[in-house]
Structure 1
Amino acid sequence: MAVKMSLRETVKISLQSISSNRLRTFLTALIIAIGITALVGILTSIDAMEKSMTESFSAMGSSAFNIQNRGLNIRIGGQGERPKNYPNITYEDAVGFRDEFSFPSTVSVKVFVTGGSTVKYKSEKTNPNISVQGGDVNFLQTGGYKLALGRNFTPRELELGSNVVIIGTKIKSSLFKQNEDPLNKVITVGNMRFTIIGVLEEKGSSAGMGGDNTTIIPLARARAIMPATRPSYTITVMMSRPEMMDAGIGEATALFRNIRGLAVKQENNFEITKSDAIVQALMSNLAYVTMGAIVIALITLVGASIGLMNIMLVSVTERTREIGLRKAVGATPQLIRRQFLTEAIVICILGGIAGILLGLIIGNAVALVLEASFLIPWIWIVVGIGVCVIVGIISGFYPASKASKLDPVEALRYE
């Protein structure tokens, strides 16, 4: 008479068998856990990076674009083409565009002065990693900055190139201890003295933008202290409505071609990039990292499946008499096969759960560093569990098949 056994009973017997070989089960589950940790951990970290970058650039919205003398240079592993370098955008070009562009929008002109300046106040000073930018009255709005303290530049300060500055929040915390009011204090930026008129709200430094380690000075003052003799200026245009983006880019292209004196058949000698282009470029490059993480996890899981198969084969050999006894009392080959398959799957799921928990911890640790919110990648968790079941089936099928084919008489004689 054949013995019938429910799935619950099969799992219970499998757990009993697993507990009797704890060391081997632990080592095999550990290998699987490492593979799932690589899969869930790295992919959760990538999700955290994407979320952080999106939040960093969301302030500018999807309705702004920049006019520059070169394209973006974001490449990972040597992939992609180097951006073309065009003639510098002069101050006259940039201001001429700002004054002539009549499309409904907000236009600003900025110039990057340096990225390695030191800011001092009395005996306190920052690290030499402070960026200095020159901007006009619309720079804060188009750059996604907001003021926590103080005010923006006045038209007279911009016209005269006054020695006034707006500083990032990290500079404030580094120089002004015990909540000292920084407004109207005189600081030294590089070798120049400036009066603080404003402090920016915290913006974060995701994607290496250093938004809280920046200083902004009037554009005319930046022109006067620029180390480069012919700097290139950047024009930022923010549309009043997102749906006007394409039309605005078309108008801006036509106007700037005219300012640059380009003939009809000549190609553009400038680049127009949307505000979210950096995020999109980084996202596309992160796809290679995602593929690498999946490959690493799969290689680890292949090794784990081989180890699990070996353990299950050893288990079949050690339990030959048990298998023979079960068959003698009526256990069918299908029942024996299901029991060994269940054991393999249970080991993989135990390792998978541990790997998922470790992966979540690692991934959200990265999210914490990047100041992103807590992430639970449900898709990758489901994928991880599914992979564990597949690995268990693949690695347990041959040992289970071998066990089910044992002759009960020969099995009972086995020593």
Structure 2
Amino acid sequence: MLRKQVLRPVTTGLALALAATVGLPWTAAAHDASSPRTSRAECPQLSKDLPWYGGNRAKLQRMIDERGSCSAKSRSGAGKPVAAFDWDNTIVKNDISDATLAWMLKHDKILQPTSWRATNKWMTAAAHRALTRACGTSVPVGRPLPTSTDTGCTDEILDIYEGAKTSAGDTAFSGVWNHRRTVPEYVWITQLFAGHSPARLTEFARKARAENLAAPVGSVQKVGTHDWAGYVRYYEQQLDLIRTLRKAGFDVWVVSASAEPIVRAWAPGAGFTKNRVIGIRNVVRDGRLTTGVQGCGDVKDDTRGEALTYMDGKRCWINKGIYGIKGAEAWRQQDPAHRIAFGAGDAETDVTFVDDATAGHLVINRNKTELMCRAYDNADRRWIVNPMFIEPKKRQSAPYRCATEGYMNTDGVEGPVRRPDGSVVPDQKDRVFPKGTARS
């Protein structure tokens, strides 16, 4: 999603300093007797032509050797290890839901709802009035809104989606929800797609994909009066990692907080088949998407989005979709045999499932507090932090406030990040960032 910047490997001295501060997992001394002694030529190898930060490639390779097809555990007949990746800003740069919504707004593909208030259970009266005023009532229900030319309607939709406030600054969503399972505006973007078939939404996403891949890195597009990211790029390093994991016998999945029909338009570019993609699944009725959302665990379908693939919801959907765990048990962390071996993500929405991984946790640093607190605390010495491969974030100047407000509780009140034993994670300095960048 911008002019591609190649990050050069850090010097040996900096790599050693990083190992001392972040914790270098899987050192030779840490290998047990069942671990392979060397990375043999016949074992799948990550490309040495694609730069990773510091010693990250070596750490990932050791994890692959330890848990993949060359490991003693694999030869013992144990089941395939599972790897799970977030999609937006983890496998690709930028957000495919944003890209698809922008394309649909620019091509008049959002359909007039029966009532804006009816699209989302948490929408406020103020947001309903603002959307009704901006988008009008002259277009019949179920027909396309003229958002390509109606700037006011487009801006109102984007303001509510992007900031959970109307263009006038009024709160757009209110009420009670579990803040570790859902976000009203995340639900709402999928509810804007109601009335289209899943295949039609995938078709829109493919057209958005073609435009965003063709646009130069760094492009910005105008949607309404908003400046919106105008390009998307697959991260070459992540594509190589995914290929290598598959060759090494891992069962590799995507678990995304984007609508599943949108992810399906992009997933083949990273080698994923549709049965290895989990995204937000709207209820389909008479062949068309509705504003209802499939539930997980003990949350029933058509509850309007109370259990998204978001934070703890990603764990639930992994337990349900990959391991077949049903009911309330799907919300709980499972024993190591029923947890993913490797997880990769970039934001709070990924923190629970990435933390659940037993062999390795890859974090793309976007300065997201709870995820970075866990990554830098590095409790099991298996966390790997890498700057964004394209347009990496600058170093965050202030420490992450892990000890006081890094964790989002279910009621939306922030509190301390805690380890499994209940101890508090201390505040953490940002330590992995491109050499030479200024603080933000």
TM-score (norm 1): 0.24
TM-score (norm 2): 0.23
Higher relative contact order (CA closer than 8 Å, sequence separation 6+) = 1
